Structure 1
Amino acid sequence: MLLPGIIYFILFKYLPMWGVLISFQNYQPFLGFWHSDWVGLKHFARFFGEPTFWMLLRNTIVLAVYNLVFFFPLPIIVALLLNEVRHERFKRFIQTMIYIPHFFSWVVVVGMVYMLLTVEGGLVNELIVMAGGDKINFLISSEWFRTLILSEVIWKETGWGTIIFLAALAGVDPQLYEASKIDGANRWRQLWHITLPAIRSTIVILFILRLGHFLDTGFEQIILMLNALNRGVGEVFDTYVYSVGINQSQFSYSTAVGLFKSLVGLVLVLASNALAKKFGEEGIY
């Protein structure tokens, strides 16, 4: 039963790791890994020395912080709310409705956003005009870009993120709630003293794993939302790697950029795991 998973990770996770070697080379496809010239840290020095680096770092960190602060707690909150619903059929209906957007591709989601927000017949702008306002070009506005990105992520992924927390809540002993009722605890007291402590370890583990992908802001979503007018706030490491690596064929340089991003994620995971253990949590290892 483990064999398919082991083969998958070997083929698609571990073997491709050898590709990071080209970040230290002047890689030429016709020469291959072992015959391309080695250049050491040349590509890293170039990347850190370019003004583009600070723009990419700022944009990526801002979007990552938005996701961590505004999106990460939402699945927990929704799971807690659903756990309080006592009507099972209504609860299952709500769960189904909030799960469905996860299965939409980003192409579909961005297409829906375009139809809603375009100035040429978009529903939102038509409502603004009906209310006496002026049309707003959300799709090319740098001021609205990050808000749109965050809103799309929340709508698409919040429901799916509740699955793990609902599973953790299902393991809470009902006798704890019964005992708390006898002691006079209301629903808020039960939530604070029983429910949240019961899922605290799950929250910590998922938070650590989330930090490992801190700089992963969603390539497909952002590349679909980018245009010439919002690129100054929307260009991130993932889209930059695609731009210079695929479009401009700078394979070694783009690999160096990707390796830097991965190293940042590794450091964040190690630091957050150590901090979690310091406060008495199990961590991920």
Structure 2
Amino acid sequence: MQTQAVRVRNLRKTYGGRAVVDGVSFDIAQGETFALLGPNGAGKSTTVEILEGYRRRSGGEVEVLGVDPATGGLDLKARVGIVLQSAGISGPVTVREQLRQFAGFYPDPRDVDEVIAAVGLEAQAKTRISKLSGGQQRRVDVALGIIGRPELLFLDEPTTGFDPHARREFWDLIRRLQTDGTTILLTTHYLDEAAQLADRVAVIAAGRMQAIGPLAGFGGAEARVPVVRWVEAGMLREERTDDPFGFTTALAARLGAAPEELEIVRPSLEDIYLGLVAEAEAETSATASDAVAAKGAGR
């Protein structure tokens, strides 16, 4: 049986009676890269902060590397690496000096020079962190996150602000960590990043888990039905159909010619994600409206 690095059951977090995380459950297997997606305010960051041990939960069960993060001490922290969205490390020390300092905090750290090479900063090893570019400073953040040889690595929006070339290089670094067997929990607003790196994807919206699974078939068969788009009488039209080629053949016969600007598109991860979020927001809005109406009727 595959060992779980993270186990979450019916996780809840409430503030003043309002649930920001409401019954979320999932597992992350050892060695897996798991992408947790969701809009701002969906409960994604709260969930991750609970797993990291920085926030207390209101209910449910959570285990990180077999330990409850709410009570885990330094032993657990030594086994976990965290790369925050903005670490803010830009002092007068050099890259090598900063890593040597952090290596001293762990019982079995990686070799400093090996880590510097792994993140592609060999040429900048003696450069002050404050003098590095934004992308290079982000590499320092990752180096600090992996220096302790973590079994589990949290990556929070790791490539925000990166140019396309820097993002591709960063993805290569993450793939090397995956090869080494590091378990990774990734949060990102870049859907292509999740598609490139994750073994499985989960979407949280309105505090609830909306969908979870491998990229192949994510969102279920209905969400992946192809879309036919074309221009007719000067207007863009579209139709979802399980038989896009049969549909376009019938469409051409009806129009008497090939449709203008015809395209057949299978929904991408981004399309499915946006659909799930919109559905969750609509459901939340409808529930709120019903509650207001019920309160008014009871007066």
Give the shorter-chain TM-score range.
under 0.3
Higher RCO, 1 vs 2 (CA within 8 Å, ≥6 residues apart): 1
Q: Which structure has greater strand proportion?
A: 2
TM-score normalised to structure 1 length: 0.27
TM-score normalised to structure 2 length: 0.26
Q: Which structure has greater helix proportion?
A: 1
